[in-house]
Each structure stands twice: as structure tokens, then as C-alpha cells.
Amino acid sequence: MNRILKKEHFSPNVLHFEVEAPQIAKTRKAGHFVLVKVGEKGERIPLTIAASDPVKGSISLVVQRVGVSSAKLCDLNEGDYITDLVGPLGKATHIENYGTVVCAGGGVGVAPLLPIVEAMKKAGNRVITVLAARSKDLVILEEQMRANSDEVIVMTDDGSYGKQGLVTAGIEEVLLREKVDMCVTVGPAIMMKFVALLTKKYNVPTMASLNTIMVDGTGMCGACRITVGGKIKFVCVDGPEFDAHEVDFDEMQMRLSSYKEIETEAMKHYIETAAI
């Protein structure tokens, strides 16, 4: 179990893994995630299940290298084993035929968005996907998104590809043009915050999939807690998706920075030792 069957680069820092996990492949639904631990002393990190193949008994993970733990995973090769892999966790995305759905993803959020786009399309929705990245070489999964969307709008901060502007500009373009019944957004907290503010103005119900810090992923520790509508919620068991108009994104962003200094130090150390 947990053997890496296939590894490929989507971009220099975004990798796609196909991992043997027959039991999870069988039960997982769009929106579910797994917790992955590399090495005996590794950290448990959450990753969305991007796709699964129940026949082959495998799941797909799309991983962005951001810190030590994601780097350790990205440095594994085909044939290696992931030390620990548990899931599927979280509540599955509520998928139904809403009509027209805008799916907006940026940064680390693009990978977790893919299974949602696929499921929304399968449920009969008209799916418009907005992909945002800082520049052209950071745009990922465009091809996969196109295969499952009626339309894909690519936005880059520097205008090196698609249209220039933030993800919100891409969404607003659609909102001004046609009636949208639902919006789904995954990305950095700050991005989701502005998406939520925008869609609120247009009265479009919006789901945000939150990527908080986690430890166990089963509701036992509370590391993943956030405030939704004034109440404490645990992202790993109550989420990861919530009504974006109710989420306190400022608090979430603050909590995401809990270990920033320690993480930066650890990454420096990892790069130094890996270089030797």
C-alpha cells in the first residue's frame, strides 16, 4: 500500500502523484482529502484527492512544493512508498445541478478545485472555471480543467498569459455577463476573502474550501479550527467546505501564519542538508 505508481511534473513546483490506495480509491468522493506523512518523524499534511481509479486501486494527488513536508513528498520517486496515508477525510462536496457554476482557483487552490470542477460538470452544470496565477509558468492543470469545463478563464497578475488581473476580475466578468447560480472558490485565504466579498455583492451563494493547518484530521486536536458565522468549526470534520460569506478569512489567514518563522528556518535547513 501507499506505493507511488506514477510521478510527473505539472510545473517545476507542482507534481502529480498516482498512489496505490485501493480502499480510499473505492470510498472517496469529490472534496475529500487524505493526510500524508513522509518518514517516521514526518509531519502529517492534508492533500486533496484530485482523482481516483477504483479499478486500479489508486488515487491522484497534486502537490505544490511550499515547505519541508511537501518537499519531502515531492522528492519521492516512482516505486517509493509514502510512510503513512490515511483517508478519505472531510465531508464530500455538496454536488448538485445548480445551473451555472463558477469555479475559481488560485495558487495552491487549483489542485483541490479539479475534482470539484469534474463533479460539477458530471452533475449537469454549466461550469466556468477561473484559474489565477502570478505568471504564465505558474498556471497549472489548465488542460484538465478545460476538459471538464464549458469555459476556462485564465488570469495572471502580470498579464504574461490569459488576461491580466486578479481572480476576482475574471469572476466579475462572468457575473456581469450572465446569471450565476453558485460559486466555488479554493485558494489562499486572502483570495477567497475577496472572492467572497465580490459574490456577496452579486448575491451569488459561494462555497470556499479551506486549507488550514491540521494535525490529526479526525476532529481530535482543534488545530484546524476557524470561525464561521461566529461559531468555532473544525475544518477537518465540519468542512473543508463552508459558506464563504460566513467565514472569517482574516482570522484564518492569521492562523495559517502560526508557524511561519519555524517553517522558514526548517526549509532553509532542509535545502542546505539536501544540497550536501
Partner 1 sequence: MDNNTKRNEPWREELRKSIKNKERADKSRVHMRELPADYRNKNNEEVNCGLTKEEALNEAKRCLDCPAPSCTNGCPVGIDIPQFIKNIERGEILEAAKIIKQTSALPAVCSRVCPQEKQCEAECIYAQKMGKEAVAIGYLERFAADYERESGQMAVPECAPSNGIKVAAVGSGPAGLAFASDMAKRGYSVTVFEALHEIGGVLKYGIPEFRLPNSIIDVEIEMLKKLGVEIVTNCIVGKTITFEDLQAQGYKALFVGSGAGLPRFMHIPGENLIGVMSSNEYLTRINLMGALRDGDTPVLSGKNVAIIGGGNTAMDAVRTAKRLGAEHAMIVYRRSEAEMPARVEEIKHAKEEGVEFMPLHNPIEYIGDEKGRVKQMRLQKMELGEPDASGRRSPVEIPGAIETIDVDTVIVSIGVSPNPLVPSSIKDLEVSKWGTITVNDGMQSSIPTIFAGGDIVRGGATVILAMGDGRRAAAAMDEYLKSC
Ligand X SMILES: Cc1cc2nc3c(=O)[nH]c(=O)nc-3n(C[C@H](O)[C@H](O)[C@H](O)COP(=O)(O)OP(=O)(O)OC[C@H]3O[C@@H](n4cnc5c(N)ncnc54)[C@H](O)[C@@H]3O)c2cc1C
Amino acid at position 38, single letter: V
Assess 5 for contact with partner 1 (CB under 8 A).
Answer: no
First CA to last CA distance, the chain: 31
CB 66 within 8 A of CB 108: yes
CB 204 within 8 A of CB 181: yes
Assess 166 for contact with partner 1 (CB under 8 A).
Answer: no
Assess 239 for contact with partner 1 (CB under 8 A).
Answer: no
Cell of 52: 481516483
- Shortest gap between Cβ of 179 and partner 1 (angstroms)? 36
Contacted by 126, from partner 1, ligand FES, ligand X, none: CB < 5 to 8 Å by type: none
Assess 90 for contact with ligand FES (CB under 6 A).
Answer: no
Assess 222 for contact with ligand FES (CB under 6 A).
Answer: yes
Residues 86-115 that bind partner 1 (CB under 8 A): 86-89
Instruction: Candidates 110-118, 119-127, 177-185, 221-229: pick the segment binding partner 1 (CB under 8 A).
Output: 221-229
What SS3 state is found at 65?
coil
39 or 159: whose CB is closer to partner 1? 39
What SS3 state is found at 58?
strand
Question: What is the binding site for ligand X (CB under 6 A)?
Answer: 33, 43, 45-48, 62-64, 66-70, 108, 111-112, 188, 211-212, 214, 240, 256, 260, 263, 267
From candidates 15, 24, 59, 62, binder to partner 1 by CB under 8 A: 24
Residue holding cell 483541490? 112
Annotate 242-266 with b (16+ C-beta within 10 A) or e (fewer): bebbebbbeebeebbeeeeeeeeeb
- For residue 52, the tally of other CB atoms under 10 A from its CB is 25
- DSSP for 202-256, please give it: TT--EEEE-----SSSSSSS-TTEEEETTEEEEHHHH-SEEETTTB-HHHHHHHH
Assess 232 for contact with ligand FES (CB under 6 A).
Answer: no
| Size (the chain), residues | 276
Footprint on this chain of ligand FES (rule: CB under 6 A): 214-217, 219-224, 234, 236
Footprint on this chain of partner 1 (rule: CB under 8 A): 23-24, 27, 37, 39, 41-44, 68-69, 72, 83-89, 215-216, 218-223, 225-227, 232, 234, 237, 251, 254-255, 257-259, 262-263, 266
